[in-house]
Amino acid sequence: MTKLNDTRNVERTPPAPLNHTKPFWEATRDKRLLLQYDPRNGKYQFFPRPVSIYDGKGDLEWREVSGEGVIFSYTIQVRARPPFQGHEPFALGIITLKEDVNIMANLVNCEREDLRIGLPVRLCWLPLSDGAHLPAFEPVR
């Protein structure tokens, strides 16, 4: 079994949100995952954008979601730049959430052999120095 680094000890620079991404990061302070929702088209989107990716209009809602999903794809980072340098190997995944959006995140609490496309995962949080949290995912056990 190849142990993968959870990257919990990486000193990440907290993101500097834009107006239209601020609600996302604010909610992470309470470990809540918010996605933009387009009520006209009945669809979610990620990452947060100034307009709906479906019809180009504004007036998007923020909705809290559970963070349940499956691995769409993944890659093991064997080389990294600072501040991740020295924390390799660690896993990055693209997760398809139940709401049908793809989100890129660290895959944690797993070993190399656990990982496969289609694996059910659930949301967990990595703390940031400014009180916000970074969404990450771990296998459902």
Partner 1 sequence: MSLQDCAIVGYAETKIVEKSSRDIWELSGEVLGSLIRGTGIEKGEIDGLILSSSMTSAGNVFWSQAVADQLALDVNFCQTVDIGGCSPLGTVARAAMAIDSGMCHNVLCLFADTQAAEDNRPRRPIRQEWTSAIGYLGPPTAFGFISKRYEHQYGLDYAALGKLAVTQRNHAILNDLAVEKLRKPITVDDYLNSRMIAEPIRLLDCVMVCDGASGVLVTSRRNAEAKGCTKAVVPLGYGERTHYRAAQSVFDITETGHLVAGQMAFRQSGTKLSDVGSFHPYDDFIIAILLQLEMLGFCQRGQGCAYIRETDFSHTGDLPLNTGGGQISAGQAGLAGGGTNLVEAVRQLFGEGGARQVANRKIAVVTGIGGIPYTRNFATSSVMVLTSNA
Minimum gap (Å) between residue 140 Cβ and partner 1: 19
Cα 67 to Cα 137: distance, rounded to the nearest angstrom:
8
Neighbours of 93 (CB within 10 A): 26
Minimum gap (Å) between residue 95 Cβ and partner 1: 9
Examine residue 124 and tell whether it contacts partner 1 (CB under 8 A): no
Examine residue 27 and tell whether it contacts partner 1 (CB under 8 A): no
Nearer to partner 1, 56 or 140 (CB): 56
Taking CB under 8 A as the criterion, which residues in 49-68 touch partner 1?
53-54
- Can you tell me which of 103, 110, 121, 123 binds partner 1, judged by CB under 8 A? 103
Neighbours of 52 (CB within 10 A): 19
Q: Give the β-pairing of 90-97 and 69-77.
A: antiparallel
Which residues, listed in sequence order, are joined to residue 122 by a DSSP beta bridge? Answer: 138
| CA nearest neighbour of 136 among 1, 2, 7, 3 | 7
Examine residue 125 and tell whether it contacts partner 1 (CB under 8 A): no
Cα 60 to Cα 99: distance, rounded to the nearest angstrom:
15
Examine residue 87 and tell whether it contacts partner 1 (CB under 8 A): yes
Q: Residue numbers of the site for partner 1 (CB under 8 A)?
A: 7, 10, 12-13, 15-18, 21, 25, 43-47, 53-54, 72-81, 84, 87, 89-90, 92, 94, 96, 100-106, 117-118, 134
